[in-house]
Amino acid sequence: MEKKVLGWTEEKISPLILGSWQFGTPSIIGKSDAINVIRKAVELGINAIDTAESYGNGTSESVIGEAIKAFKREDVFIITKVSIDHLRYEDVLRAAEASLKRLDTTYIDLYLVHWPNHYVPIRETAKAMERLINEGKIRYVGLSNFSLPLLREFREHLSKTDVAANELHYNLLFRDIEKEVLPYMIRENIPTLAYDSLGLGYL
């Protein structure tokens, strides 16, 4: 599968990213089947896998960690997310350590803030993310579900890096991001990672 460059990072990832929220729910897909899906996807050229600490309370991350042992770590681009309830400085650091342990890896390629938390100063979260980069525990900082004003504010509090991506709800039916945030991100060379692109199968 032809890879595309992830904005300013120069990382080459597959245009199709394997989502994994269902891997944290055994009633939807069992562990062995989930591992088989992940490994087959990587074999077919999908090198980017998206997960979150909240998917199955970490189960999804654990399944991915086991599945990617079949490959060289550098051949897989892992995206995971810190939850909305863990955006205080120390909470971000603890959440990252827990995700690293579940993924059984020494670094996360792209670490996203899953949702903005209006009760936690953005500066506090941004500084924690930069510390994780400085310590080599994450390679890039990203966001998810951030509006244009919040994206701009987050960028203002980053002094040594920039936002590498913003994961947003986007498909043929939900196109609100085309009004403001998408044009801005295109101008600033910040990639959009679209989720629910097939509208839960309705598209």
Q: Are 48 and 14 in contact (CB under 8 A)?
A: yes
Vertex 29 angle, CA 25 and 31, to 5°: 85
170 is catalytic: no
The pLDDT tens digits along the chain (203 residues) read: 899 999 999 999 999 999 999 998 888 999 999 999 999 999 999 999 999 999 999 999 999 999 999 999 999 999 999 999 999 999 999 999 999 999 999 999 999 999 999 999 999 999 999 999 999 999 999 999 999 999 999 999 999 999 999 999 999 999 999 999 999 999 999 999 999 988 766 65
Please give the pLDDT value at position 203.
58
Q: Which fold has domain 4-201?
A: TIM Barrel (3.20.20)
First to last CA, the chain: 23
- Per-domain boundaries in the chain: 4-201
Q: Positive or negative, the Cα torsion across 133, 52, 14, 158? A: negative
DSSP class of 68: G
Its pTM stands at 0.96
> Interhelix angle for 122-134 vs 148-156, to 10°?
50
Catalytic residue among 55, 111, 140, 170: 55
Residue of 168, 174, 175, 173 whose CA lies nearest to 193: 168
Instruction: Tell me what pLDDT residue 199 has.
Output: 72
